Amino acid sequence: MRRRRYWYTIFLFISLGVSVIGTGRIEDDREQQKEADIRTEQAAGMQEQRKTPENVKEPEFLVVEPAKSKSKQLLEMDIKENNAQPSKPESRPLFPDNFQEVLFVGDSRTVGLYEYGQMGEADVFADSGMTVFNLWDSGISLNNKGKKTLEQVLAENHYQVIHFMLGINELGYSMEQIVEKYRETVKEIQDMQPEAKVVLGANLHVTAENSAKSSIYNNQRINELNLEIQKIGDELNCHYINVNEVFDDEQGNLLKEYSTDGSHILGKYYADWAQWILDRK
């Protein structure tokens, strides 16, 4: 009887141990399964994150260009639309047709232009002995309409352009005196006719023969004065034109065949001079 109880007791202990061991294994299996499930869910979540939603596009690779100014963008658009390069503004003639509303102020060379140059509708205030020193005191019969001073002419008329050409008669003065008075005179004309374009004409050269025999009225001093006149033009915002390119020889002297006295051109060439002036731009 005791022996049976002994074996029964041993059997119970063995069964209990097996049960405990089995239960432990089951718990271990459950923990391992839970960890596996968690890893599976995490992996699935990461996989979902990696997927691109159907309604979201992949970012495109952009090429960034330097920013352009608004004006440049508009210009490029205009060029593309018209399929042509922008046109350059046309240069306009310096003088209006037929010298409408133009005043010429000058000495004997300007008198020649008036008498022989087909000056159209131009007004001409000129005299053979005119200089910047006596200009405002002189009275001229403007187009045979009675004598008037330059001040009166400028006060009574409106001009688009004023052609001013003086200097050859002044060469007996010092260059400093001539330039100072010349600049002062141009300023006064501008003050009285602020809307007019003032055109300063270079003094005409003399022939090589005339230039060689005078220490005062020679082409060296004429060139010196013309250079100063050009500077005055730049300073006072005036136009400067030089007709010597039409009548000079290769050495920069008035061509002998254009003149009889060595200082003035022949009457028949003044029309060429007038047309050259009209062609200026």
**Mean pLDDT confidence for 41-51:** 47
Q: Is the pTM of this model over 0.85?
A: no
Long-range Cβ contacts of 185-188 (<8 Å, 24+ apart): 185/132, 185/135, 185/136, 186/232, 186/236, 186/238, 187/236, 188/136
Q: Hey, how many other C-beta atoms are within 10 angstroms of the C-beta on 60?
A: 6
pLDDT digits (tens, 9 = 90+) for 51-109: 444 444 444 443 444 444 555 555 555 555 555 555 555 688 999 999 999 999 999 99
| Dist. CA 32–CA 120, nearest whole Å | 116
The mean-pLDDT minimum among 4-13, 42-51, 270-279 falls in 42-51
Would you identify the CATH topology of the domain 97-278?
Rossmann fold (3.40.50)
**Chain centre distance of CA 209:** 45
Residue 239 has a pLDDT of 98
The structure tokens listed for 264 are 């003035």
Give the range with max mean pLDDT: 3-7, 141-145, 186-190. Answer: 186-190
| Dist. CA 58–CA 60, nearest whole Å | 6
DSSP state of 252: S
Residue 35 has a pLDDT of 57
| Dist. CA 196–CA 192, nearest whole Å | 9
Cα angle for residues 81, 86, 91 (degrees, 5° grid):
150
Are 174 and 139 in contact by the 8 Å Cβ rule? The answer is: no
> 53 or 245: whose pLDDT is higher?
245
Identity of the residue numbered 185: T
Supply the Cα-derived Rg of the chain in whole angstroms.
51
Residue 55 has a pLDDT of 47
Q: Where are the domains of the chain?
A: 1-36, 97-278
